[in-house]
Chain A
Amino acid sequence: NAGVTQTPKFRVLKTGQSMTLLCAQDMNHEYMYWYRQDPGMGLRLIHYSVGEGTTAKGEVPDGYNVSRLKKQNFLLGLESAAPSQTSVYFCASRASTDTQYFGPGTRLTVL
């Protein structure tokens, strides 16, 4: 039981490049979330999903897209990366309780 995993762990992009971050969970959780964490800002919700095939916007969705084609996977896409998207990205999942379980994070730098 690996819990929540994220790939890649690190990535450096140039402005304008695209990439996809993958989050996978093996706990059969319905709910999944993508956050970004920046110094002095706390974790902020980007997008979330309440089940397979559904997604919704969080607090800071601009510049990101998501997909939840399979229950266990939640993908975060950056179509045209900007330096303001340099951050640490965390994925989380939960079952019916309030407790969210986080993945190890992806450190993204956009030059």
Chain B
Amino acid sequence: RKEVEQDPGPFNVPEGATVAFNCTYSNSASQSFFWYRQDCRKEPKLLMSVYSSGNEDGRFTAQLNRASQYISLLIRDSKLSDSATYLCVVNRRGGATNKLIFGTGTLLAVQP
């Protein structure tokens, strides 16, 4: 079983739709959580960190449920420019440094 699991998609949604991605992680030692965005053939870029209290950044809302080891990302009013792969990432501290564990990503395609 992978340490971080995501539905690979693709999620095909029309512009303006609301879409939600889920992610589960298996290691309870995970200490911090992120969503990264990766455009086709580009590097991953941090979209937002995820906090237990939930956090919002414009049209994006992230939630963390530590008890269920579950992370979510909600995108409201989808834009064409939101089309990308969304990577769920957990930070596991151990040894000399933290280690980021990446999910395989969820592909979002926003249709006109």
Q: In the complex, are the beta carbons of A42 and B97 less than 8 A apart?
A: no
Chain B contact residues: helix, strand, loop or mixed? strand
- Chain B residues with Cβ below 8 Å from A58 are 99
Question: Please, which residues of chain A bring their CB within 8 A of the CB of B87?
Answer: 42-43
Shortest A57–chain B CB gap in Å is 10
Known: A40-B104, A42-B102, A42-B103. A105 touches B43 (CB 8 A): yes
For this complex, into which size category does the number of interface residues on chain A fall?
20 to 34
A31-45 interface bits toward B, Cβ cutoff 8 Å, 1 = contact, 0 = none = 101000000111111
Check if A102 is an interface residue, CB within 8 A of chain B.
Answer: yes
Bound-complex Cα distance A33 to B99 (A)? 10
Contact B97 A43 (CB under 8 A): no
CA–CA, A42 to B8, complex, Å?
A: 11
Return chain B residues, CB-CB under 8 Å to A56: 95-97
Q: Which residues in window 4-49 of A have CB below 8 A to B?
A: 31, 33, 40-45, 48
Chain B residues, CB < 8 A from A100: 46, 100
Bound Cα distance from A102 to B89, whole angstroms: 14
Q: Mark contacts of A79-111 with chain B using CB atoms, 8 A cut-off: 1 yes-contact digit, 0 otherwise.
A: 000000000001000000011101111000000
CB <8 Å contact, B98 and A98: yes
State the CA gap A100–B44 with chains docked (Å): 9
Smallest CB gap from A43: residue in B: B102
B64 contacts chain A at the CB level, 8 A cutoff: no
What is the CA–CA distance of A44 and B2 in the complex, to the nearest angstrom? 12
Residues of A within 8 A of B (CB): 31, 33, 40-45, 48, 50, 54, 56, 58, 90, 98-100, 102-105
Query: Which B residues form the contact surface with A (CB < 8 A)?
Result: 2, 4, 8, 32, 34, 41-46, 49, 87, 91, 95-100, 102-105
